[in-house]
Chain A
Amino acid sequence: MIRFTLNGKPVQLDVAPDTPLLWALRDGQGLTGSKYGCGQALCGACTVHLNGQPVRSCVLPVSAVAGASVTTIEGLASRVGQAVQAAWQKLDVAQCGFCQSGQVMAATALLTSNSKPSDTDIDTAMGGLICRCGTYVRIRAAIHEAARMLG
């Protein structure tokens, strides 16, 4: 039995400890906002927050989050997260949308630690995520827009 805090609520999961957090969330908890894209921490579609830090849930064994706090796109409620989502919508960032949960989570983590990121900061923070639709131009613009909205 693995206990941790999920989107602000305590949970107990009875799954094999080597199960990646992603699959514990998706198949076990029905939280399907985080996506499987590569299974090797190469694309970032599975990005969630572990104690506020962005992590690739597809390679993180669920045993590693015991006692920790996990936030997924479904539980993203911070002021920064809401600004990021508003900016995403305002600039119509998403195309197919499949990677965007991960992009939103990564962007929120970036803006939480750096309220006015430069383009280089954005490249560094977001370079681990892939968008095959090529929404990078708008992701960049939306991060700047969210920074402006947050003042």
Chain B
Amino acid sequence: MAVYAGPVQDLIDELGRLPGIGPKSAQRIAFHLLKLPRDDALRLARAVVEAKERVSFCTRCFNIAEGDACAICTDPRREASVLCVVEEPRDVVAVEKTGEFHGRYHVLQGAISPIEGIGPEQLRVRELLARIEPEGVQEIILCTNPNIEGEATAMYLAKLLGALDLQVTRIASGLPVGGDLEYADELTLGRALEGRRVLDTG
């Protein structure tokens, strides 16, 4: 429902499309932006444009990359046989901070969540399956968030991967339940990685 004049309504509509921003917040942020000094507003606009132009996703693992492949995929020291599956690029950062993981990643770019209109088709699942044979993957660690959507995604992937000849593991519980990986400190997440258990797939 368009309430305001052209450009204002456009701004509200665009903001309302962002995750976690409802119509009310969109309106509030829009009016906040309108009140900002011109330079501040332009700086934000420029940051969006720059990020969009300079940063893209790794064509192999869908982590953030400046170029075709990310720094981890191009690092020859990383083991190809172990894949750590995470929801978002920020989770790659969280796992990297533990220093406990030396394999490669696969970023799903989300988790199964019907409320947000995300099913398995919207995630990078097909791309994950396509990597297994050519890269000689022997273990997949499901490192999705310890919340409902993350658990559901892990369960879905475990079923899907169960038919294949590889080991599927899930990070150990002990992470704060209902939270995000990014909330876990390095030590806890490191222990959760180390204590990962083999999933009973099928």
Chain A complexes with chain B: no
Which A residues are closer than 8 A to B by beta carbons?
none
Which B residues are closer than 8 A to A by beta carbons?
none
